[in-house]
Structure 1
């Protein structure tokens, strides 16, 4: 039997394209988006939730607010937004539109996520409205007379008239009885162009399309659709303009008859459903007395009957269950694919059997064994479904408990050798398919026997439990920590991208296990020795990998214990050095070995310091003071650049605030920024905290990013940079000219400074081409309103050339070398003698 049109779900009708913006989006951006997409509305979304809506009609208020275009849309939007579930039937939606007096509504899925917009047009056009439209002429509906305005009228005044009268358009009478039109969409377009001033004649469309009032509503609707119009004039028998017809007016004209037709159809549908409901042919005595729960539904899954055992098992009475669907029992543990497969098998084979987690009325979860069968009438047509289920929760708990005991160590509750072998086997299979590596760590506690012998096995067991918990928390949930027996533990590490990642994990395990343990009121210290093998480098099966890791562990023991060793001998010296350097960098953070040196940037006009760049140095305990070139690549690869960069930002702002309090006016503190930092989700919050804690205003901070970061086109990067600029933080492009340099992105990003790479100055006197390039960069930057800083000034000739081409600022060894804060303080606020003298 074909589905009635009224039973169609609105999910099939909606437009899937929703114009969205965030609550902080400016009105100017909103109207630009609406004008570009020719959309009549935009929804405001905050953290995935729709919080408001703004329409073309709302745009009419812009003429009354001078600063409206610069304000965030959250201040002007309407809320809350009415919404319908995507499963709502078309007939029900039509009645909802009528009762609420609305013409469009947001459609959401089961989780409340927006799917699209549903309009009254969608409802009527899919309900066979053409029947009504063909029978009725335009003059049969109440077409509002046109509101006619003078072409010399101020646009702002006309917008007020449209807003107060709820008008979507006005007619403009030009000399010679020529008519034009101004619509809400025109206002949005003008707002997007920032052209809301002037008079109406500057903006109205000069020709108003018109139809005779004797034309049918169907032809009027077709004319509007074919010509992509939203309004058409209505002419009387004498050819005089008597009305302005919109699609909304057409729909309103047939609304009463149409909704009445819908109500009649819905009533007929409900009567047909009541007539078609049958009681299943079940033996009443069996149905009432069986200990298994029984539930009978119609073809749509609506419950028609349940037995007493159903109430005992679920907590829902007969009255509470009838009319609802089995979704009321859903636990949320099975995803949509589970139910799709179940219904697919049920419809194809007529039955389904399996286990499913459901939820009782009191919220308690239970596992049931469920059997669903289709019930057919004498003609072989399926009319109902019968579900029979029993509670098997306690049986499953007992089975799982026995299985857990067989697969886990009773002392630490970690996987035992059997489960470890199975997990490692599956990890190897996954790694082989994905061409990835797997790490196996064999951990043995050093001199643990001494604890058992001197403090007793009870203390030793307490220590093992603590160590097991530390190991489990030190690795990812996807990794496996197991106890093989005694004081031996093993770990499986999956999805290895870099062997250094395994080294890092091993170092973490050394640190956490080596912490003191409180056992029976006494502090116990235990250290581990760790051996590491890697699949497929050191072996391709479980036994071989475990054996190699065991051998590497004994090498760690021989090296003095409390350390780790790789079995693999193929590792290059450079990889080993990188891993060692990474470990040293982690210790450097905790041991406060990093330092900041500062190099001033001078204004080439006044000779005074206008900015200070904070430069990172590492006071290595054995190698002395290191510049970033010796370690920054490893920091970037290992993500240590994020905490190191956070330390640099905090220390630089602290020093800057101290200088300002002492009277040293240094301009702005310039801090280099890495790509990993700017992509960190808490970066903006961290910057605010650092400035607040230091007591330094945002205008005293400048962040430098390299050219390649600016040119990525990454939306997140652009949003973060835009927010920093709005807060007053300066932004500079460092090493400009070293990549595929383009001024295009400089026009879209809120950058105020360009730092030209030192390579352009190196041979500027010898190579005329370098000088020409530098001249061009300075000229183009000046045209864009950007400040230019030349890096690497090392001799007088370079300084004189920079002055000649009009470069704004300079930085380099000729003027001042980087040094500690005290050295820069000694320079003070005096002008640099080389610049002041005109050298």
Structure 2
């Protein structure tokens, strides 16, 4: 490898600078240079280099001038001093030597501080040129034709001839055929010794002239120069004739030529590498700019440094808006802190993270992107930047979700298909088994759908199926499932249904919804459904069995004339049909006045007089006979028939009470049971006022009973109704007290004036002091609240005796009279024919309990 690629200049400099002041006499300067065998001296004015004096400068002296020795160096020095940076390569110094025609350069560092002096000799003697010098012969480089002077030439004439020919050395020819050499350094030595320019040049030349064969290597020539501490060698041909003079300058010129050649090759190589690098950079920039994926480069702290056009398109932020801001500006806030923590942990551990993330565009729109983040580290392995590449996959995700949706849903109606229905049914059955809840499967088929398709076309048929699906979905809860199996077959999954009657009501609702006319393309179309029902766990415990049984029940519905529903054949089917029959008959009973009232007396336990009557409804069924309330009241409650039924009961009780009052009978209060559903009906208070006005029954004689669990329902509307009733003077009683929550809060805040204790607190009192204590406590509490107490369900004399002992004022039960028709109860009532009727002696609530 050549020296130009090996060494910086600062490794070759002579650091021990030889220097002098500008006024130093030349004789002193010459002595310094001769003593140090140095070819140059730096002239300093203080610390500033103002010039340089070299051996070449002595050729300009007139050696015959006696004042030469005392002349100051400033008069002969060269300036300004040429400098070179110490970090440059040696070959560059060789080029500068030749270009400027000099042999010395002052070497400085990057701050301009002097490092030392570099001469041509330093470059030639550099070991980095050995390979080159070994490969080249002396004859390969041009040598100057030597200046040959006769030994008898006067010294001053010889110096003048050297100056005229521009030579730094001359060969001296002696009469004996030998040769010597006279150089600039010899002139410096003469000046140093103060000698005058007298005598012949031969007397001051060095002899013999050391020589080298032209065919020998430059390396050998350089070695001879270094070992003998000389700067010139004679060049001999094969016949031992002197044909040239080889100097350091000649060798340096050859080295410089080689360096220039090498430098040119290096520059060409560099230019090629630079072109390739720029090409790849331009290519990378084009890829960066043209890629359809967004690219964002950030610093380690998240500050955005660069984005591409796709980033601007995808996010809505221009490069000017994004650069300098933190990448968190894109955050959608949909990911949790844990998500980001895991992302950064993986990024720091592996240098890369890839995944899906929701981000937000400039206009606030959310979009899903597939994001890849890579760490960019420096040579020390420290992360300095992150590169994020992302693509908007919102549409792709929507397409995937659409495909998944189509795989589980009917394409026409948008309802779940057979596959999804099966999955939901399996899940519902597992939940039902765990929670002990009941579920139902309904299988629905349209009765006249084929006729619609054949007569009006498949387009109308498809529209009809979509509308049927919409009506089915609107008829059930959001938690229920409506599916289309295909054709005109639909299935429904009803979870947590309670009992079969609930399912029957939904089935009837579906019959009504589908049976209503459909309006399609100007046509009014009618279809009817046939519905089969199976119940879990009664009709099966697995999905396949339940669907099969519902399907069979649907065919039974078709066989029964269509446009109806049938439960799977079994005992539940019988019970359900019976309940449905009761519901249907009850609607007719209201129209036919089949409901009758029986009255059960409440008596004073002290003297046995009747102090009140409770009106209890019975149903005189045309085929089933007299039905107790338990057979039909729950159905009335569930179907909202309780509202017209309650109106009828209240009207009849008030009418009968008015009749007895007009006949002079004394019976205290007329108690009528009240339903929470009635109170919640917005027309309830209006009905009460209307009935009282139409029958003429005094409000003070009316008592409305509400069971305890309903009394504390917490409904603000109901509380308002209770206070409105109390404001009208109507007595309010809590029925079945003791089996509900028995909270003092509602006793304090609601305007009840009577407690009717449930029989369950009376059973077994003859054997339990605890039960008696409870009854005593209730009596004490009621007395403190100024409330009347009635013990329900008294059936034996022992029970009556115990109640007398603890001070219970009023009782009701079979021991004192069962519920009987009005014509049987009348004779038991006290009669005051000549006295105007007066309100019963019911204690009014305390002012603090009345609002």
TM-score when normalising by structure 2: 0.47
If you compute each CA radius of gyration, which structure gives the higher value, 1 or 2? 2
